Structure 1
């Protein structure tokens, strides 16, 4: 089944934003929203993660486009296409540090927008193919009571009972055990799909926990080995249901 590429427009000039939205819809893309402020965009991204972010550099409000990108990239790895009417050297250098996929200078033509998105999608496809090749070597082998993870060029067996929790680091996952840590080249979402559900549960966009290691459950977090781990409101009910059935 064909799925449309989802694009979020973060632009505070609403006439420009509406025109971009119309052009994207005409080109066959799905616009997930038109948002004028960076702080509002971060909330939207958390709830409706787009495939591409069209982001104006010079946003009004508490944070500009570059600051919005930096905050977003702590949790999500969404390709950025910057929109800018002021492509001076200082702004360009700051924006470059966020590794954008393209820059579009205002005013721009429909063809500029179309080509920037096509190049972005092509680059994303190429990066995913490379990740898949790397993933074949680094994905863990899952057994009923343990997993094998790559560590220092070896496959190391890690007992499930020794795993405390797993934290997302963009396209990587860090497994925290009682005595060691292991870094995997895979997303938290992919790992969540592979782990045995009877032992693990995702409690936050950035955390999976070993249910048997939970020491405390508070209003907005849980505690494992003295580490406070945030719990999303949407996932807390499932966690409580799982705890009641153990």
Structure 2
């Protein structure tokens, strides 16, 4: 069975947000959270990456929806569907800069929501396919005992295993985080997990692989590496603790 599409709702009118959440659940989608402010949305994205951001343009607080999208896009490529009760040209022109996948005008029907999401996922999948290189050029990673080589433009760059903090899934991509740099690779987290040396790395969540030696704290539901709180699956926590005892 395929995983449910995960959607983060960013809407400051909580009655509307609750109604949207109910409709999405009835349509078979997973709502990761409902948050009323752009600042909270950015924090939520760091703890659980959604497949789609359902984002009200006219948010109250320091960041409106468009400013939230611009900040999010500095680190993540999450498809955006805007919710708006204000369709004036000024808002539309600003919103266009964030390249949203759809706009839904309030009030809207469940069918409008469903079609916007289906079109968004279809476009996102097509984008991934179009970005894929020919098979002979797809090798993105080469593993050595103490380092990995990752593709950067037309060359391969050496990244020391000792420098890697964690690796995060982003659909069909992986983002490798070191203390001062990121590397985006066209490879799934599942394939990455197969290639990495098990003595250094462990997959602790469907979206994360960590460098075990970089763990600073193990909490009830997450671990901390650097300033990043990374969720850990319940079934994997016991295995991780066992691994830590052998280091």
Distance verdict in 2 for CA 1:32–1:172, change over 3 Å:
closer
The answer for the alignment partner of 1:38 in structure 2 is 38
State the structure with more CA Rg. Answer: 1
The answer for the alignment partner of 2:69 in structure 1 is 69
Contact persistence 2:208–2:230 (CA under 8 A)? no
Distance 1:25 1:69 in 2: 24
The answer for the alignment partner of 2:23 in structure 1 is 23
Q: Deviations over 1:35-76 (max 9, x none)?
A: 222122222222232211110000112211112112222332
Distance 2:140 2:191 in 1: 8
TM-score of the superposed pair, with normalisation by structure 2: 0.68
The answer for the alignment partner of 1:9 in structure 2 is 9
Task: Give the number of equivalent residue pairs.
Answer: 230
Contact persistence 1:9–1:17 (CA under 8 A)? yes
Distance 1:155 1:130 in 2: 22
Q: Deviations over 1:111-164 (max 9, x none)?
A: 2211111101111222233345468624113244554544664567x4857x74
Query: Structure 2: any 5+ residue segments left out of the alignment?
Result: 217-223
Name the Cα RMSD after superposition: 4.2
Contact persistence 2:202–2:210 (CA under 8 A)? yes
Distance verdict in 2 for CA 1:167–1:199, change over 3 Å:
closer
The answer for the alignment partner of 1:137 in structure 2 is 138
Distance 1:26 1:32 in 2: 15
The answer for the alignment partner of 1:226 in structure 2 is none
Distance verdict in 2 for CA 1:242–1:73, change over 3 Å:
farther
Contact persistence 2:141–2:151 (CA under 8 A)? yes
The answer for the alignment partner of 1:195 in structure 2 is 196
Distance verdict in 2 for CA 1:39–1:231, change over 3 Å:
closer
TM-score of the superposed pair, with normalisation by structure 1: 0.68
